Amino acid sequence: MMLNRQGRPSTPSQAADSAAAGTITGNRGLLQEEALIFEIGEEGRTGVDLPDAPKVKDRLGGLRRTGRIGLPGLSEPQVIRHFVRLSQRNYSIDAGLYPLGSCTMKHNPRLNEKMARLPGLGDLHPLQPVSTVQGALKLIDTLAGWLKKLTGMPAVAMSPAAGAHGELCGLMAIRAALKARGDVRKRILAPESAHGTNPATAAMCGYVVDPIPATAEGRVDLEALRVKLGPDVAAIMLTNPNTCGLFEREIRQVADLIHGVGGFFYCDGANFNAIVGKVRPGDLGIDAMHINLHKTFSTPHGGGGPGAGPVVLSEALKDFMPVPYVVHGKDGFALVEHDGARSFGRMKSFHGQMGMFIRALAYMMSHGADGLRRVAEDSVLSANYVMASLKDIMTPSFPGPCMHEALFDDRFLKETGVTTLDFAKAMIDEGYHPMTVYFPLVVHGAMLIEPTESESKDSLDTFIGTLRGLAEKALQGDQAPWFRGAPYLTPRRRLDETRAARAPILRWKPGTNAAPAARAAAE
């Protein structure tokens, strides 16, 4: 017996079983076919009455439109209902638990949203004179101060847009520092447990990526690292906690080894949520680390526009940070736009994503030092609660406690004919977005779950009950066909994900009604 999303007892996948049997009851409004906005209504129809435009002399010349625009004509109810129906099909952090591992999809306090929309902050323009944005510059400077204190680092570059952009910033600072001392190096070491963007960023910077294998415990193999070291190593890019959900216990030794050959230590800070307020990266020997404000400090992915990935820098790298950056002098705050000394230059047109800065500072000031420490403690507690509650029926990939995310593999499904993808698709019918699957690559059939600190025990219990119910169903031994057909309650049945990635149809053309064809193909 398991609990459904409303907390009522039900058999595993009861709703999906009914759907497969053709006995769906209740409101089918959200299951109906939803055409594209261009397929609704007719051209020439309008939902409003407007007076004829006054005849004026224009300067369009030969650029006057002669053909049809092709926009659909719709009434106001048609427009509202179309977009409301689409919004109700979208899974969001406001609708339920988002278990994506390595993503920190947690609740975004509405207070932070209110702060980001305050007059004077929400309507700032990047080309305003500096004298008119002193408050905004002070806010950026204050946020930078919090980041430096939390990480134990002397400098922070605020302009990088997000995680991968922050990685690029860190490596460019490292490359500039090496160049300043007349040192040209070719290799970047990247542990297998690092984030996938790390090797991509290193390659973009022109480095050769040299992988470091993991131990049986899921951590960096120090002996393999020692073998790879040499005078041509520019840096190591390590994620801590790593993408197996484990803290790299020997991180100080890693730092000493890389510094011993004259290289730098870049740490991927995407998982900072697990250690914020508990560990200062600067104390671990790290030279550069990006911090995803939109993960650790409010605003989940995609919630509010562009992200923000400030990069904290060590004493050895602080002089090579990008412009612009904020300085405070006797005449107030100013932006340094040109630094002809050692900065590697500019990464983007303006200083950063102001909305993210405001939300992050509001989050920090609301929590305070003790509250931020509690964030890390509760996120780690939640992940270990999930792992401890499921380890008897699912298979944890590594022994012992985890950090902020629990990693399972597909060994428990080995004799069932059910795959990790099948299991994940079945979760959709139970009302949950699937966890991160098949990542990290060092684990076969990986299922990476990050509950975050913002979920209650009741919420976690319901989620755990759902996974347990699906695992029990899979272990019955004859349920593989049912799992392969999931999901059943979605507007679209299971899609060909490979084809969708390699041959996407991104443009609608008049006269082609793709929606019914796509539905027929899926069924």
- pLDDT tens-digit series, residues 47-78: 788 888 888 888 888 888 888 877 888 988 89
Higher-pLDDT residue of 420 and 68 is 420
Query: pLDDT value at position 169?
Result: 96
Contact at 8 Å (CB) between 287 and 390? no
Secondary structure of residue 148 in the 3-state scheme: helix
Average pLDDT over residues 323-337: 91
Confidence of residue 29 (pLDDT cuts 50, 70, 90): very low
Least confident of 120-129, 206-215, 263-272, 365-374: 120-129
Q: Where are the domains of the chain?
A: 113-366
Q: Model pTM? A: 0.88
Contact at 8 Å (CB) between 115 and 121? yes
Residue located via tokens 């050959």: 261
Average pLDDT over residues 212-237: 95
Secondary structure of residue 265 in the 3-state scheme: strand
Confidence of residue 519 (pLDDT cuts 50, 70, 90): very low
Average pLDDT over residues 106-127: 91
Confidence of residue 7 (pLDDT cuts 50, 70, 90): very low
Query: pLDDT value at position 378?
Result: 98
Q: Which residues contact 323 (CB under 8 A, 6 or more apart)?
A: 336, 337, 338, 339, 343, 345, 346
Whole-angstrom distance, CA of residue 39 vs CA of residue 178: 58
110 to 94, 143, 146, 156, 299: CA distances (angstroms): 11, 19, 21, 27, 10
Query: pLDDT value at position 71?
Result: 83
Average pLDDT over residues 363-371: 97
Confidence of residue 304 (pLDDT cuts 50, 70, 90): low
> Residue 130 pLDDT more than 80?
yes
In CATH, the number for domain 113-366 is 3.40.640.10
Query: pLDDT value at position 451?
Result: 96
Per-residue pLDDT of 458-498, as tens digits, reads 999 999 999 999 999 999 999 999 999 999 998 888 988 88
Average pLDDT over residues 253-272: 97
> Residue 317 pLDDT more than 90?
yes
Q: Which helix (H) or strand (E) holds 482?
A: helix 480-485
Average pLDDT over residues 446-456: 96
> Residue 398 pLDDT more than 90?
yes
> Residue 253 pLDDT more than 90?
yes
Shortest CA distance to 447 belongs to which of 385, 381, 397? 397
Q: Which residues of 253-288 are buried (b: 16+ CB within 10 A; e: fewer)?
A: ebbebbeeeebbbbbbbbbbbbbbbebbbbebbbbb
Query: pLDDT value at position 22?
Result: 40
Cα dihedral value 184, 187, 191, 194, nearest 10 = 70
